[in-house]
Amino acid sequence: MKENIIQKSIINYLQLKENLGELYFFRSGAGAVRVTGQNRDRFFKTGKAGCPDITVVKDGRFIGLEVKTEKGKQSEAQKLAEEKILKAGGEYYIVRSVEDVISLGI
């Protein structure tokens, strides 16, 4: 299954939980956006390299979720982000399905 399909199913699940008032979440992607101006196009960076795909706040917990396929591996930037989040007292998990998210108590 493709990563974007896994991510959509996780987001749908989290949206249900948010609608019930159980948590807050947002999708946090890094990348760039092209803005077309009068005289030129400009690119703006969005997010931070390596940031988790989804951030969840539940019961005072900061939880970073990195969505991967069964064979997917973290990039070096993602490994560094994981270290920083854990050092700051947050939680970080690699998830490959909605079931993985549920098993974390989210």
Taking the model in full, what pTM does it have?
A: 0.86
Identify which of 21-30, 44-53, 60-69 has the greatest average pLDDT. Answer: 60-69
Q: Give me the torsion for CA of 6, 70, 106, 11, rounded to 10°.
A: -10
Q: 17 CB contacts (<8 Å, ≥6 apart)?
A: 23, 25, 106
Q: Mind listing the pLDDT tens digit for each residue in 6-24?
A: 999 999 999 999 999 999 9
Quick one: CATH architecture of 3-103?
3-Layer(aba) Sandwich (3.40)
- Identify the burial level of 20 via C-beta atoms within 10 angstroms of its C-beta, where 0-12 means exposed, 13-18 middle and 19 or more buried: exposed
